[in-house]
Structure 1
Amino acid sequence: MKIEKLYETAKDTAERIWELSPEDRIYEAGGWIPTTLNLKPEESFQKFYGFGGALTESSGYVLSRLPSQVRKQAIEAYYNPKTGNAYHFARIHMNSCDFSLDNWACVPEKDERLKSFSMDRTDKYISPLTMDVQRIAKNEGSDVQFLMSPWSPPLWMKDNGDMNHGGHLLDCYRELWAQYFVTFIKKMAERDIKISFVTIQNEPAAVQSWDSCEYSAKEEGEFAAQYLGPALEKAGLGDVKIYIWDHNRDLALERLEESLKVPGASKYVAGLAFHWYSGDQYDNIKEIAKRYPDIDLIFTEGCIEGGPRNGAWFTGERYAHNIINDLRSGCTKWIDWNIVLDMKGGPNHVGNYCDAPILADEEKGELHFQSSYYYIGHFSRFIKPGAVRVSSDFFSWMTPATVSGHLTDEAETVAFKNPDGSIVLIVTNRTEADLAFEFKIEAAGGVQTADLRDWEKARTAANSKDGAKAESGNPAAPLYLKCPPRAIQTWILK
């Protein structure tokens, strides 16, 4: 197997998904290398279908205030498969969310027949953005699938009479709320936007100062089995997949099990959606993948909270840490939060400002690409839809001599086999020193060393390691590579 290409993004350099020669990352410093990266391409796991972002009203509003060419640049930066991050998914919201200009609903006043259902507000900023995203992708031979999530029903359907501050959907409106989903999906179809997935409720266990609504796990199961699933089927929309939870990893397993106890829920619940805000409870996602192999696991939201971090590096590293571990846990689709926000991290109608991979200076008409944008790109540009995850792991006989003094979750890796047979291997190094490692491939019942275009340089480097001997053409000769400090690499092997 030959290492064909290498792409790198590194702190304190100009490298941003920069292609360089794989030979340039041969480790030649000498000394004992206690760390090994083992790639096992014959050990396979889940299929993966791509990355995406959220097309919120706030993102649509910010982009509408930019010059047309800058707006196009931002959209292409995500959805152009040739020059951008090659996104294949987009999340939109039905009614308002916190990243809206204010509270609004498609049926703001009590109307139990939904005759007044209006797309005026959706069509102001969200629909134009979705159509532009779809057009840009299609022009380059790609496609986009849309996920729709509600943050709250209209206030008149809730027991607290408020779109904000939690509250519950009134029992008497469960059937009508299901019809609301159907109506919205049909009206988006009239705009040539097909909704492929829905979640029942964004963060159903959270009482927020913004748009929110509470559901128990049982209530989600009942809504899927008794109302939403049948309503979609009756309307000829049975191919729209229903996902539950749409909240943090911490309660994902117990919520899924409780929802699936509802008679009929398993017929309609296609998967579970999750967020990252409660921390690294990846074991819950792994356990779901193990116990419920037919349940699709989709990451639907994550961001850097507390406002924008223009120029920060840790933001990209946080994304890579979450993406790697979600993918290693069984995730099949990974969708980021707002694609673009302003320099305040908004607009947000309750001041819940956040960071985004692209920040826009509306006054200057400029885009600021964050480290998170490039870190996501190391995954989204190279892992193709339908790729199968294969095994890759770091192993160290001792703690490497780094500033942090340990390897655990400072260096991480994930690998996929693309439909064309190529292997995508991603390596991150969050330490302040070079991460040097021996690279081994376990396949065909033995251990192999990847080939390089310049074998003589690799052989010379191997021979300098404390007497190690590597002869030209020896498939078992050691190959020592390095990842620079605070960097991410994507290695392409064929």
Structure 2
Amino acid sequence: MRVFHIAVAVALVAAAPAVAGPKLRSWVTTGDKRQLLAAQAPSGPATAAEVAGLPTVVVDPKERHQSMVGFGAAITDASAWLLQNKLSLQQRDSLLREVYGRGEGELGFSFTRLTIGASDFSLDHYSLDDAPGGAADPTLEHFSLARPQQYVFPTVRAALKINPELKVMASPWSAPAWMKTNGSLIQGQLKPDAYPVYARFFARYVREAGKVGIPIDYLSIQNEPDFEPDSYPGMRWLPQDRARFFGENLAPIFKRERITTKVLDWDHNWDQPQQPLTVLADPKAKAFLAGVAWHCYAGEVSAQDKVRAVHPDKDTFLTECSGGEWAPKFDDSFSWMVENLIIGSTRGGARGVLMWNLALDETFGPHAGGCNDCRAFVTIDSKSGAINRTQEYYAFGHASRFVRPGAVRIGSPAKLGDLRTVAFQNRDGSRALIVLNVGAQPASFAITEGANRFKASAPGRAAVTFVW
């Protein structure tokens, strides 16, 4: 009986049946996990009297912002290895369809990220051009996609078969060791005389990945270029040097080889907007770059707006964030992700939003250095194959299930008391409004859009996606 009362308390209040108009559908996730993307009873339009005096979320489809590429997670070496080795064929196919499918109850992920070579979430450290004995390979004779062809590329091809609209981004954690000042995948910088061959390396990666069915839609040249981790591949790359590489090395070869992959700068935290601003101040780099990629681990999401204000013609993406045991409570981390990544980042212009690992095991691995308590969208038990869906799964599901590729962000209030909102119009004309109630108490409010008027509610510490 208690569950029944809870369901009634969070249901939308139905309007008088005599009022004509569209039905409002909604899905709720509560911080106490009693409801997890739970469908509510549809409601009809409300009368003016029914919403009189209520705070109103005004959705304005005439106010149009960015079009969406989508939401998703990185298919890391660790994620792909688990999917290919710790699940049966039937389990793997079922999970991939649940994540990338567009059917009822499926997440509909349409954006992913791959690592070019190893990251901390690999089984070991490697690059795509490891010559015998660590020798230099200026002709790229030893360039090979053998490693991603083992687990990552088959997983991506399976996802693309389920969702052909899936867009793929790729990022390296380090250049091959022989191109670097310290001769190691760990730490160091790119040698100035390696710039031309590294540009050819990227062109070759894009071409050869495409030949085996992996279209590289977006590319960054360095994951977290202001960080040199001491236990896994990484590389510092200063903004003025990245600008030179873009303008003098990568742009010419991409133009010559007619490579249309869109290139993004930065791919690092919100705390240093001056880095992409420095790169975009270079005329050649600015002409070549499609936009800026951001991570969530330091700074505030408002940094996206600082760069967009100067360069409104450049795209914005949020390309990495991870949950972890540093924030283990479901309600706290779920609320933070919805507020900052799903709502804050898209209100800050993000066309795509990515979390880090798609899947990890029960010990937060496998990994080779780096983070030892990062959470993934799903946890795969390495012994039984059982799957646990985390708060990241539900936070992103509130957007990815209802905001389709090509959807346009439209007007809605950023804040209304304890409510945080973002709204989208899909290509079929349907609207999706995501509302987060950061307060502890339930909130009742009205939703208006043109002639449409609805009465709605959101439990305390909960997210609700409304569709009409």
Residues 266 and 292 in structure 2, CA contact (< 8 A), matched pair in contact too: yes
Residues 217 and 262 in structure 2, CA contact (< 8 A), matched pair in contact too: yes
In structure 2, distance between residues paired with 1:116 and 1:431: 57
Aligned to 2:272: 251
- TM alignment of 1:46-195, pairs within 5 A: 46-64=66-84, 65-83=86-104, 84-109=106-131, 110-137=136-163, 142-165=164-187, 167-195=188-216
Provide the secondary structure at the position in 2 that maps to 1:264. Answer: helix
In structure 1, distance between residues paired with 2:70 and 2:216: 16
Cα deviation digits, residues 22-63 of structure 1 (max 9, x gap): 44999xxx9996744232332222222211211110101111
In structure 2, distance between residues paired with 1:423 and 1:327: 15
Residues 25 and 483 in structure 1, CA contact (< 8 A), matched pair in contact too: no
Residues 113 and 171 in structure 2, CA contact (< 8 A), matched pair in contact too: yes
Provide the secondary structure at the position in 1 that maps to 2:410. Answer: strand
In structure 1, distance between residues paired with 2:327 and 2:206: 33
Match for 1:417 among 425, 429, 434? 425
- TM alignment of 1:264-279, pairs within 5 A: 264-279=284-299
Aligned to 1:40: 60
Residues 225 and 268 in structure 2, CA contact (< 8 A), matched pair in contact too: yes
Cα deviation digits, residues 73-124 of structure 1 (max 9, x gap): 2222221122421111211111111111111012112211111112222212
Aligned to 1:338: 357
Deviation of 1:394 after TM superposition, in Å, equals 6.4
Cα deviation digits, residues 182-221 of structure 1 (max 9, x gap): 1222221221111111101110011212211111111111
Residues 32 and 331 in structure 2, CA contact (< 8 A), matched pair in contact too: no
Aligned to 2:463: 488
| One-letter amino acid of the structure 1 residue matched with residue 286 of structure 2 | S
In structure 2, distance between residues paired with 1:394 and 1:289: 17
Aligned to 2:10: none
Deviation of 1:306 after TM superposition, in Å, equals 4.6
Whether 1:290 aligns to 2:265 is: no
Match for 2:334 among 286, 297, 316? 316
In structure 2, distance between residues paired with 1:82 and 1:124: 29
| One-letter amino acid of the structure 2 residue matched with residue 484 of structure 1 | P
Residues 317 and 372 in structure 1, CA contact (< 8 A), matched pair in contact too: no
Cα deviation digits, residues 372-401 of structure 1 (max 9, x gap): 2122111111112222212212666xxxxx
Whether 1:437 aligns to 2:445 is: yes
In structure 2, distance between residues paired with 1:41 and 1:262: 36
Whether 1:228 aligns to 2:236 is: no
Deviation of 1:367 after TM superposition, in Å, equals 0.5
In structure 1, distance between residues paired with 2:238 and 2:34: 49
CA gap of 1:74–1:395, structure 2 versus 1, over 3 A, is closer
In structure 1, distance between residues paired with 2:346 and 2:212: 33
TM-score (norm 1): 0.83
Cα deviation digits, residues 134-162 of structure 1 (max 9, x gap): 1222xxxx421211101101111111222
Residues 23 and 44 in structure 2, CA contact (< 8 A), matched pair in contact too: no
- TM alignment of 1:202-241, pairs within 5 A: 202-209=223-230, 210-237=232-259, 239-241=260-262
In structure 2, distance between residues paired with 1:78 and 1:116: 35
CA gap of 1:31–1:188, structure 2 versus 1, over 3 A, is closer
Residues 389 and 415 in structure 1, CA contact (< 8 A), matched pair in contact too: yes
Provide the secondary structure at the position in 2 that maps to 1:313. Answer: helix
- In the TM superposition, structure 1's runs of 4+ consecutive aligned residues that sit over 4 Å from their partners are 30-34, 306-309
Deviation of 1:370 after TM superposition, in Å, equals 1.2
| One-letter amino acid of the structure 2 residue matched with residue 318 of structure 1 | W
Deviation of 1:449 after TM superposition, in Å, equals 5.8
Residues 9 and 487 in structure 1, CA contact (< 8 A), matched pair in contact too: yes
CA gap of 1:153–1:13, structure 2 versus 1, over 3 A, is closer
In structure 2, distance between residues paired with 1:450 and 1:439: 6
Kindly tell me the number of residue pairs found equivalent between the two proteins. 436
Residues 308 and 355 in structure 1, CA contact (< 8 A), matched pair in contact too: no
Task: Give unpaired runs (5+ residues) of structure 1.
Answer: 397-406, 452-478
Deviation of 1:3 after TM superposition, in Å, equals 4.1
User: Which structure has the bigger radius of gyration?
Assistant: 1
Aligned to 2:3: none
Aligned to 2:13: none
Between 182-191 and 268-277, report the one with greater CA deviation. Answer: 182-191
Task: Give unpaired runs (5+ residues) of structure 2.
Answer: 1-20
CA gap of 1:308–1:69, structure 2 versus 1, over 3 A, is farther
In structure 1, distance between residues paired with 2:364 and 2:147: 22
CA gap of 1:307–1:163, structure 2 versus 1, over 3 A, is farther
Cα deviation digits, residues 418-471 of structure 1 (max 9, x gap): 222221111112333212224344x4xxxx5615xxxxxxxxxxxxxxxxxxxx
| One-letter amino acid of the structure 2 residue matched with residue 343 of structure 1 | E
Deviation of 1:369 after TM superposition, in Å, equals 0.7
